[in-house]
Structure 1
Amino acid sequence: MLKGKVYLLQTCNTCKRILKQVKIFGDFDVRDVKKYPLTTEEIDDLAQKAGGYERIFNKQSQKYRQLGLKDKVLSEADYRKLLSEEYTFLKRPVFLIDDKIFIGNSNSTVDLLTKYLVSNK
């Protein structure tokens, strides 16, 4: 059984549903990013694995709209700063398995995650 990490919100029904769906294929250390916020080093590591800070940034966050960020041009440094200040800016869930990263809750991401887990069990 594969081992990995998952970063999510325990109160998020979508995150819980996805975790329940894939838990049969792997063993995951679950981290609630609200209770245990990511360190700057962890954010840097996720961004490096994902190919940039924007790739792990949640543009669907209510805070994103409240702050009017959708009307601004943000740099990678801006995304990094925002991610380190507010847990809701992390696109969730984030699964880390081996050297792979799976970010967000889109059907295509969940399908890729499931296929990876099934093919490596």
Structure 2
Amino acid sequence: MSTIGSSSSVASSSGSGSSASQTTSITKQIIALENQLKSLSDDHELTDEQKSEQQQMIEGQIAMLQAQLAQIQQQQAEKAAEKQEASKQPDSGSSKVADGVNRPTATNTLNVYI
């Protein structure tokens, strides 16, 4: 009887590591599970019921990993949007440095009293 070995090590580290390395790790796990799913049909030691159970379990793990991958990609998209918004903010008119011509500085002002 063959068992599922390394496929039960689902990446549950949501806060540690870079999102790129997490994405790579999860993708590798998905590929390994898909290969395991393909090789399951060639396993003659298992009964059809055992194969069906293992297939359901592997497909469930793949679905969890795909959901986790989608969550990481969503977080990456949100971070990119925040960066883009942050880079747009300094371009507003109120943050321009006064140059003393039409926008006087503290040392370059003209007080006119009539």
The structure richer in helix per residue is 2
Q: Is the structural similarity TM-score above 0.5?
A: no
- With normalisation by structure 2, the TM-score equals 0.19
Higher relative contact order, chain-length normalized (CA < 8 Å, sep 6+): 1
The structure richer in strand per residue is 1
Bigger radius of gyration: 2
- With normalisation by structure 1, the TM-score equals 0.18
